Amino acid sequence: MSNAQPAAGRRVVVTGFGVISSIGTGRAGFLAGLREGRCGAAPISGWDTTGFAHSTAYEVPGLDPEKYLRRIEPGRFGRVGAQAAAAARMAVDDAGLDPASVRDEPGVVAVGTTCGESLDVDALAGVEVRDGLDRLPADLARRVHAGRLSVAVAVELGLPNVEAVTIPTVCAAGSYAVGHALDALRDGEADYAICGGADSVSRMAFAGFYRLRAWAPEKCSPFDLDRNGFMFGEGAGMLVLETLEHARRRGATIHAEVAGFALNCDAGHPTRPDRERVAQCMAGALHDASAGAGEVDVVFAHGTGTKLNDAMESAAVRDVFGDHPPPVTALKAMIGHTQGAAGSHACIAAILGMNHDFIPPTVNFTTPDPECPVDCVPNVARPARVRTAVVNSLGVGGNNAAVVLRHAEVAA
């Protein structure tokens, strides 16, 4: 087991979150989307897709993230940084936390991402093609680096004393950010954290994965016999974490406890995930949470909708949970693969499920696959009492992470 030390240190809870996704933005919008089992896939509208035989993604086309921002002036950050900042603003509002009140306390801002300010990178390439590399505009050049995502959050919230880090551990990055914040709070290095992830849908990513035939033509269908790839989604998911003591002191509503976390690396094949390592990671997170596999009510799978991932993950779930695993749901059918935000989107969905007694469904499901022998909660949200949830994340290259969340009543 890669993370053999048991959990110790201070307890850490979630007191707020903010969401931008293709099925709904904000707490109420995302909750409604999850309950209704919406699917956010639609023709790409962010850029010209002429020449591609198919071009669908889970964008958030009507969204202007800047309308949620109070401190950042328009255009200073790219769309991805603005989304991270907007979701962070929603999260502190949801937490009833005035950032000015924690300005002098040690804090962490951690933002996961896969492609960073990918739309600005695309735009710079467009200028290079059109006008040449010596004509790059200053505004794009100044805002293109991924390290700015965490800066955007700190600037929007007016937090100068934070450890601000961007974690580009690709598609596991949202969970990495939550785990990094958890460790900082447990350790006493910080009292609160704003953590999660953000990404968009760029030409670069689409052209690349289209070419590799990894991008699903119409929609993402995890665990289905006829699943045919992943599909990137746009959005951000940010959470407010506090030590239990900090949350109690200010009388905050506790939505859930972050009970455990683990991360490891396949160190094997760069694109074929390793079932054994993925199972060890989930088991490591349960150990970190001092939780037994039998306590888990639902697994939020990475569930990308590729042949390889979903079969591997189904097997890994059975390795950890035995022949009768809890329901295993895959949000990516609804919101797409939101990349660096995927892990934080799943954490937020799990918390909403806990607090509203349901499991979000795996939509777009038609035909069971014997290679995926799990109950994926097909198509319709299921009423359920959720007390413990596991969020599983994988990043290409072999980066695995798992988060264990517990219902607020156990933190009470």
Interacting residues with other proteins between 208 and 227 (CB under 8 A): 208-212
**Under the criterion CB under 8 A, does residue 154 sit at the interface with other proteins?**
yes
**Which position among 98, 187, 226, 409 is part of the footprint of other proteins (CB under 8 A)?**
187
**Which position among 84, 155, 256, 349 is part of the footprint of other proteins (CB under 8 A)?**
155
Q: What is the nearest approach in angstroms of other proteins to the Cβ of residue 172?
A: 9
**Under the criterion CB under 8 A, does residue 308 sit at the interface with other proteins?**
no
Vertex 87 angle, CA 350 and 171, to 5°: 60
- Which C-beta is closer to other proteins: that of 24 or that of 340? 340
**Under the criterion CB under 8 A, does residue 398 sit at the interface with other proteins?**
yes
- Which C-beta is closer to other proteins: that of 94 or that of 288? 288
**Which position among 145, 248, 318, 387 is part of the footprint of other proteins (CB under 8 A)?**
145
Q: In Å, what is the CA distance from 404 to each residue of 13, 263, 350?
A: 12, 12, 10
**Which position among 23, 184, 285, 312 is part of the footprint of other proteins (CB under 8 A)?**
184
Helix, strand, coil tally for the chain in percent (to 5): 40, 20, 40
Looking up tokens 């739309």 gives 119
- Which C-beta is closer to other proteins: that of 214 or that of 381? 214
From the candidates 171, 281, 372, 376, which is the catalytic residue? 171
Count of chain residues binding other proteins (CB under 8 A):
86
Name the residue among 302, 204, 236, 239 with its Cα closest to residue 60: 236
E-strand stretches of 279-351? 298-300, 328-329
Q: Residue 331 in contact with residue 294, Cβ under 8 Å?
A: no
Q: Residue 150 in contact with residue 164, Cβ under 8 Å?
A: yes
**Which position among 59, 94, 122, 257 is part of the footprint of other proteins (CB under 8 A)?**
122
As a whole number of angstroms, the distance between CA 305 and CA 209 comes to 14
Residue 330 identity: A
Strands 382-383, 358-359: pairing kind: antiparallel
**Under the criterion CB under 8 A, does residue 75 sit at the interface with other proteins?**
no
Q: Which stretch binds other proteins (CB under 8 A): 26-34, 90-98, 149-157, 374-382?
A: 149-157
2-61 positions binding other proteins, by CB under 8 A: 2-5, 9, 49-52
Catalytically active residues, by annotation:
171, 302, 337
